[in-house]
Amino acid sequence: MSHFGLMALYALLLSVFFALLWKRARREQVRLFLQLFLGMMGGALILAWLMYMLPAGPPAPIP
């Protein structure tokens, strides 16, 4: 599985867990789930985009 797939699975499981743990009403659970899931996925994609613009590091030495 790719890094993106694992990140999405982690965000999904964590969002479900916290939505069920913190809220009682179904509507509130769904709302919190969406907020957490979209926040984690959006934040990770924004961070990945910002890191993409950083230099990769020094080039490898030629033996």
Residue 63: the pLDDT is 75
Q: Is a pLDDT exceeding 80 seen at residue 60?
A: no
Q: Taking phi first (over 0 means left), then psi (-120 to 50 degrees means alpha), and beta for anything else, what does residue 57 get? A: left
Q: What is the pLDDT of residues 38-59, one digit of tens each?
A: 999 999 999 999 999 888 888 7
What are 55's two structure tokens? 């230099």
Residue 1: the pLDDT is 86
Residue 11: the pLDDT is 98
Residue 15: the pLDDT is 98
DSSP string over 2-53 = -HHHHHHHHHHHHHHHHHHHH--SHHHHHHHHHHHHHHHHHHHHHHHHHHHT
Residues 6+ apart with CB under 8 A from 31: 23
